[in-house]
Amino acid sequence: MIKKRTSLAFLTLFSMVMILACSSKDEQAVKLATQASHYDADALRKLSAMASAGDAAAQYGMAVYYQKLNYQPGNKALEFTWASRSAAQGNVDAEALLAYDYMVGEGIPKDAQKTLAWVRKTAMQNNPWAEAVLGGMYMNGDGVTQDYAQAFDWYTKSANQGDAEGEYGLGSLYDAGHGVRQDYTKAMEWYKKSADQGNADADYNIAELYLNGHGVDPDVDQVVHWFKKAANEGNTSAEETLGRMYQDGTGVPKDLQKASYWLGQSVGHGNLDAEQYDDAVNKLIAAQEQAAQQQQNEEQRQQAQLAQQKFHHDSVCKDIAIMISRDKASGNTDGLNASSNLYNMQGCDH
């Protein structure tokens, strides 16, 4: 079974980075856009002048500039406008950006048909990001008829260009045996390529392969390592799994505080499935804290009781010592013997 996606902001962060980094021909324009977004007025003037003169790369650069500052009012719409102008001249990076905009509703309403059209057009020009997205559409039947063979072809094209998303998708198909003969060894190979580029979903699936002994010997240390890596990169399923491992002491020392932390992270990132485990762990922690407080109170009570007993004992011994001194001074042999015996009986010589 192909694992579902769980990483945070998969489209809005990971995909955006891949679009802006996928081509070299617009590198200078993107460099100027980056400088402009850091309040370099000269870079912005130069980029704007080139874009206004009809330079497609500069128009794409303007789109990137507004994308980087999309938190400011009106900039999302301006990004879409400049991307459209650049795409109209056949700029493949701008076409990919338009596909992304229609996919997530960036500056415009979401539109599945236009997303597919721009993704397909961009993929046909060997854009690795678009190839991976198209592969995902065919794998999931998203806007197209589900077709694992097509998914395998597009993911392969993307992966062979070093795209982390394509590598992950190809690993998923080998893992599940969809569109290709199931091969856990190749699944691991492609997952690791993707994981090396920071894909937390790939980290998670590598952990699963080690956990289930698929293509590798089961290895608890590797399971923990890859789940931790995925969790640290924001994979909510890994956060939940790691929390439950700490809860049960599976592969790691039992630690309810760490369990609560990771389960809380998962819930905070929107994984409601982890909420029940987080509640259970927090109840256990509360019970432990209550028991610890009760134990501390009992220890303090016992210490106070011992202190009181010692004070009473010391007072008695002091009184007997005074009696002994008086008997010695008066030469009262019988009294001295009696007081000395009492002193010893009370353990005053210890």
Query: Would you say residue 192 lies in a domain?
Result: no
- The letter for the amino acid at 143 is G
Query: Would you say residue 142 lies in a domain?
Result: no
Query: Would you say residue 117 lies in a domain?
Result: yes
Q: Is the predicted pLDDT of residue 180 greater than 50, yes or no? A: yes
Which residues does 201 contact at the CB level (< 8 Å), separation at least 6? 3, 5, 6, 7, 10, 168, 194, 230, 235
Mean pLDDT of the chain: 87
Q: Is the predicted pLDDT of residue 236 greater than 80, yes or no? A: yes
Q: Which residue has the tokens 């608890």?
A: 220
3 state SS of 163: coil
Rg of the chain over Cα atoms, rounded to whole angstroms, equals: 36
118-144: pLDDT as tens digits: 999 999 999 999 999 999 999 999 999
Query: Would you say residue 86 lies in a domain?
Result: yes
Tokens of 14: 């990971």
Question: Is the CB of residue 266 less than 8 Å from the CB of residue 204?
Answer: no
Nearest to 36 by CA among 92, 91, 75, 89: 75
Burial of 311 (0-12, 13-18, 19+ CB in 10 A): exposed
Tokens of 92: 């493949």
Torsion region of 78: left, alpha or beta (phi above 0 gives left; psi -120 to 50 gives alpha): alpha
Number of domains in the chain: 1
Query: Would you say residue 346 lies in a domain?
Result: no
Query: Would you say residue 152 lies in a domain?
Result: no
Q: What is the CATH number of the domain that holds 104?
A: 1.25.40.10
pLDDT band for position 171 (cuts 50, 70, 90): very high
- DSSP, residue by residue, 34-57: HHHHTT-HHHHHHHHHHHHTT-HH
Question: Is the CB of residue 91 less than 8 Å from the CB of residue 57?
Answer: yes
Query: Would you say residue 35 lies in a domain?
Result: yes
User: What is the spatial distance between Cα 340 and Cα 327, in angstroms, rounded to a whole number?
Assistant: 10
Nearest to 171 by CA among 150, 154, 193: 193
pLDDT band for position 221 (cuts 50, 70, 90): very high
Tokens of 247: 């809860």
9-62: pLDDT as tens digits: 334 344 554 555 545 557 888 899 999 899 999 999 999 999 999 999 999 999
pLDDT band for position 5 (cuts 50, 70, 90): very low
Position 198 scores a pLDDT of 94
- DSSP class of residue 235? B
Position 73 scores a pLDDT of 87
Q: Which domain holds residue 122?
A: 23-126
Query: Would you say residue 269 lies in a domain?
Result: no
Question: Is the CB of residue 56 less than 8 Å from the CB of residue 90?
Answer: yes
User: What is the spatial distance between Cα 261 and Cα 103, in angstroms, rounded to a whole number?
Assistant: 34
289-324: pLDDT as tens digits: 776 777 887 788 888 888 888 888 888 889 888 988
